[in-house]
Structure 1
Amino acid sequence: MAACALTLAACTPAAPDMRGGEELVPSGPTIVSLNPCLDAILVEIADPSQVLALSHYSRDPAASSIPQGVAQDFGFTGGTAEEVIALSPDLVLASIFIAPATRDALERASLRVETFGSPTSTAESVEQVRALAQAVHREPQGEELATRIEAALAGGEAQSRPVSTLLWQPGEIVAGEATLVAEMLQSRGFQSHAAAMGLGQADHVALETVLADPPELLLVAGDSAGQGHPLLARLEQTRVETVDPRLLFCGGPSVIALGDRLDEIRVRLRP
């Protein structure tokens, strides 16, 4: 295909699984994923022989929710319909925001396309994992991951008192209250300082605002000049911690990793 000829490195399918010297037959439908959040779930629950390609985002350490040592074992595409059609998968996994023209092209090629949204709670994340597991015929593996996600929420030991917390995301914005990350923060007793300031989803918070009205705990998940400013260290009543931004925007395994990171921070806050 033309897209592959122009960008060969972005169109590399996974090598055949030759364990034991013989190519293994996939244990379920073959799959191409076009979304990094779905990639992360897929590599947890699918048999590797099923996965023909992940999204190109999962090869980028700055964007991927998958350890690079795992991602490098899979092929990937640049997301074009031509690349996907050339791989002839049984199933294509995509975001609900897939370009209509891309979806139309895939369906005209008689490819089955399943789309998924972005979960806004752990319950929605668990539901998504189970739905994806059913689609790829890996229900037991999906149930195991779903159980771990539920445990990541239920296992959170809240602070003895609420801790005023500002999650300062990339772009110097804050998360809304009806989000998965907000639910995880609340499960650990981290109370939204953004909500107390009257801020909502994706509202911008400048350095000056943080300095004028600082929280007890500042979780920095961005790398702007303001988010790394030396003045933050002078906030005597504020503890500053970092959170990997890759843990904030997907459900699935990211929920578990986020829970672990919040638990580490919670332990450090104990007197």
Structure 2
Amino acid sequence: MIRACALALAVAVAGCASQAADRAAQDDARNAGSTRPRVVSINPCVDAVLMQVAEPGQIAAISHYSHDPRATSIPVDLARRFAATSGTAEEVVAQAPDIVIAGAHVAPATIAALHRMRIRLVQIGVPESIAESQEQIRTIAAAVQQRQRGERLVARIDAAVRAASVQHGPAPAALIWQGGGLVPGEGTLASELLSRTGYRNMSGDYGLKQWDVLPLEHLVARPPQVLLSVGAEDSSDRMLRHPVLAGLLQAIAVRRYPERLLHCGGPTIIDAVAHLARIRRAL
């Protein structure tokens, strides 16, 4: 009798184990066949990261800024392979994404629509350092279930910064100058990139804040050794053509700084430090 009960118990346990194994196998099969989330980006800096960490089929749409040669942070021919939206609730929801990744500022109507549709919203601010930008890459990569690709991009940024670093010699005083005299000061990603590539950001000498306007007379009175002009490439910075600067521009190094390198972190850092290093080596 005891042997019979034991045999029955063993059969029951084996049956439960078999059922659990079957359920686990079914779960594994479902997970293996599942697709990663589809994402809509409404921020051009996020677009640049997604191009590196997401599968093309995951990207439902990107920001319309990435289709504009004057505003994009990625090659336009690459950007135009993807649909674009201007970030309105109607356009975004029409793409039926699982996730929307945006900047720090999103229209309340868009937020409300995403909430109603139960679409996850991930917001990414403006990074103020390389480390912060790398954490944002990890956040984006995790959201699209591509953590390994995110880590590979982080490693590429680290390698590019190491390659562009200058360990010896005096650091030339430099300013990044936008049209109208807008200058990135200490505590910005641009300032860290200057420092890492062997320059000294001169903005602090003028008492400027993180982002501040430098009056033309202050620039003339205490010029930097290197002026990195966002408008030098296409002559859009009218202040550079001011008569007061005519003599000064013969005495200092004025070099172009493409606008696409100024506003984004992520993979843009790789191009930015390489550009700054080339200028530094040629001085």
Q: Say yes or no: TM over 0.5.
A: yes
The 5-angstrom pairing of residues 227-266 of structure 1 reads 227-229=240-242, 232=245, 234-235=247-248, 236-266=250-280
Cα distance in 1 for residues equivalent to 2:138 and 2:106: 21
The 5-angstrom pairing of residues 78-97 of structure 1 reads 78-97=86-105
* Corresponding residue SS for 1:52: strand
For 1:75, the equivalent position in structure 2 comes to 83
For 1:171, the equivalent position in structure 2 comes to 180
For 1:182, the equivalent position in structure 2 comes to 191
Q: Do the aligned residues in 1 keep the contact of 2:164 with 2:197 (CA within 8 Å)?
A: yes
Which aligned segments of 4 or more residues in structure 1 are displaced greater than 3 angstroms? 228-233
Task: Give the aligned length.
Answer: 245
Counterpart of 1:152, as a letter, is: A
Mean CA deviation greater in 197-206 or 99-108: 197-206
For 1:106, the equivalent position in structure 2 comes to 114
Q: Do the aligned residues in 2 keep the contact of 1:40 with 1:253 (CA within 8 Å)?
A: yes
TM score, norm. by length of structure 1 = 0.85
- CA RMSD in angstroms comes to 1.8
Cα distance in 2 for residues equivalent to 1:190 and 1:238: 14
Cα distance in 1 for residues equivalent to 2:123 and 2:41: 10
Cα distance in 1 for residues equivalent to 2:34 and 2:203: 48
Larger relative helix fraction: 2
Distance 1:228 1:256, change over 3 A: farther
Matched, 1:44 2:44: no
Unmatched tracts of structure 1, length 5 or more: 1-24
Q: Do the aligned residues in 1 keep the contact of 2:206 with 2:218 (CA within 8 Å)?
A: no
Cα distance in 2 for residues equivalent to 1:118 and 1:99: 17
Counterpart of 1:83, as a letter, is: E
The 5-angstrom pairing of residues 212-227 of structure 1 reads 212-222=221-231, 223-227=236-240
* Corresponding residue SS for 2:211: coil
Question: Displacement, 1:213?
Answer: 1.6
Matched, 1:206 2:219: no
* Corresponding residue SS for 2:128: coil
Q: Do the aligned residues in 1 keep the contact of 2:164 with 2:274 (CA within 8 Å)?
A: no
* Corresponding residue SS for 1:171: helix
Cα distance in 2 for residues equivalent to 1:202 and 1:118: 12
* Corresponding residue SS for 1:110: coil
Cα distance in 1 for residues equivalent to 2:261 and 2:255: 14
Unmatched tracts of structure 2, length 5 or more: 1-32
* Corresponding residue SS for 1:203: strand
Question: Displacement, 1:182?
Answer: 0.4
Q: Do the aligned residues in 2 keep the contact of 1:167 with 1:221 (CA within 8 Å)?
A: yes
Cα offsets for 1:48-89 (capped at 9, x unmatched): 011110011111111110111110111111211111111111
